Amino acid sequence: MRIKPIQKYNPQDAGADRKFYAQAVATGKIDLKRLAYLVSNQSSVREGDCYAVILSMVHNIMDELKQGKIVKLDRLGSFQLGISSEGVATKAQVSGSLVKDIRINFRPDEDMKGTLNTKTMKFTISDSLI
């Protein structure tokens, strides 16, 4: 994994000296078609079939999230909707019109957390601005 140094200030102490921190650098993107290709090469399933299954899974995950469910994918993690809303003075005033934003929260499964950690990753410094 590539990292780059980035200088930040402490928002809780604006007068404190800025410090340098390591920040992850993306080295590219992968899309569903590429994932389907990779999965098909690791199994006896054709690429088009893998792609169709992945697309169907994404569609069904979104449907289940809309119903308020937590979607747990073993060994990967759990997806759950979160919201932010405006505050009001009384419980009776709370309604859906107060919702300002919806986000998808992801919590990695223990298997994934165990695989991706500082003991299993190697880091290199990048000069890239991306």
CB atoms within 10 A of CB 33: 14
Alpha helical stretches, state H, the chain? 32-41, 47-66, 110-115
**What is the DSSP track for 57-122?**
HHHHHHHHHHTT--EEETTTEEEEEEEEE---SSGGG--GGGEEEEEEEEEE-HHHHHHSSTTT--
- Please give the chain's pLDDT, 130 residues, in tens: 899 998 988 888 888 898 888 888 888 899 989 999 999 999 999 999 999 999 999 999 999 999 999 999 998 999 999 999 999 999 999 999 999 999 999 999 998 888 888 888 889 998 765 5
DSSP 60: H
pTM of the model: 0.74
pLDDT digits (tens, 9 = 90+) for 9-46: 888 888 889 888 888 888 889 998 999 999 999 999 99
